[in-house]
Amino acid sequence: MSRSAVSEAPIDEEESPVADAGAASRREAVRFVGVTRQFGDVRAVDGVDLRVRAGEFFGMLGPSGSGKTTCLRLIAGFEQPNAGHIEIFDEAAEGIPPYRRAVNTVFQDYALFPHMNVLDNVAYGPMIRGVAKAKRHAEAREMLRLVKLEGFETRQPAALSGGQRQRVALARALVNQPKVLLLDEPLGALDLKLREQMQVELKALQRELGITFIFVTHDQGEALSMSDRVAVFDQGRVVQIGTPDEVYERPRTRFVADFVGSANILEPSLCERIGAPTGLWSLRPEKIVLAETGPADAHGAVIVNGVVRNVLYQGATRRLLVDVEGQTLSVVAPATTTAVESGDPVRLRWHANDMFRMIDE
């Protein structure tokens, strides 16, 4: 298999001269240059470079302790960097307190005032700024309309569902007209069905308002479905930035391939068997199909023989674990694939272009 038949790790968008020329014409909402935040001996954020474009829905994805939440707090002003530079709409942010920044934060626990009704919770920010009661209530009602909570003005937070409390928290943040809205694990407290519904509604709200949303999550599906671009964090560093499609289909490192979805990391013996150049290769399970008998075609198809070791039922799909050349490959097959059982010999097929060459770690 030739090098031209496979995909290789691209230059990060932030590093590409062509991308830089295009990005220069677009205003940046947030910019990090070599930002470090240290707590004792621990570098929670380690030399991060990051650019968030104005008006985009930007996701920060990573496991607990990867630095994503600390980056959000640095933007909000709740933390200050030990080194590096932060800009918010071209203005230096170091040393600027949270209340003087053009940002607002929606916290995972919503942080609503339990003694205030919904209307007064939303109108709290304008009240602090000295806005007259009639005007701030009018602004609060408009925000409640945007988040589909008309008629809830007199209710107390304790009488609301989790999804309704989240909407109130959103309205309370948006009524202050921030240029950047920060969301810290905004859907983490919701059940699956409501979480999926709120993903759609948050994205629609951001498009309607046209302001920059930056949200933190450890949920890969959430990040991929909501983000215009996503930054993947690991051990205080950004290891990849790109569109959801780029990050999923072309992971730069083993960590990204494993954390964003699931991936088969092809062992050297299997790579040698199929003629792939030396290196670290990923292959998504859904790219592999069960092959009918017969030779491979001449258009980049790879066909290997294996033995099914396990079949896992997953609703709409079945996950097959297949031993091939001493390596277990994960294969996602339609749920209708019922004839295959553990111990059965199978032939697997994928296209060479579905393999992606990563950066060795």
Owning domain of residue 291:
264-358
Looking up residue 29, the CATH number of its domain turns out to be 3.40.50.300
Q: Are 146 and 171 in contact (CB under 8 A)?
A: yes
**Residue where one domain finishes, among candidates 259, 279, 301:** 259
What single DSSP character describes residue 184? E
- pLDDT by residue for the chain (361 residues), tens only, comes to 544 445 544 445 444 333 443 444 368 999 999 999 999 999 999 999 999 999 999 999 999 999 999 999 999 999 999 999 999 999 999 999 998 999 999 887 778 889 999 999 999 989 988 999 999 999 999 999 988 899 999 999 999 888 888 889 889 999 988 999 999 987 776 777 778 888 888 898 899 889 999 999 998 988 999 999 999 999 999 999 999 999 999 999 999 999 998 899 998 889 988 888 888 899 999 999 988 654 555 577 899 999 999 999 888 888 999 999 889 999 998 887 767 889 999 999 999 999 999 986 5
Residue 142: inside a domain, yes or no? no
Tell me which H or E stretch contains 143: helix 133-146
Pair 190, 313 in one domain: no
Pair 289, 202 in one domain: no
Residue 169: inside a domain, yes or no? no
Residue 125: inside a domain, yes or no? no
**Residue where one domain finishes, among candidates 222, 238, 259:** 259
Could you give the number of structural domains in the chain?
2
Residue 149: inside a domain, yes or no? no
Q: Are 35 and 80 in contact (CB under 8 A)?
A: no
Pair 354, 235 in one domain: no
Instruction: Round the CA-based radius of gyration of the chain to a whole number and report it.
Output: 24
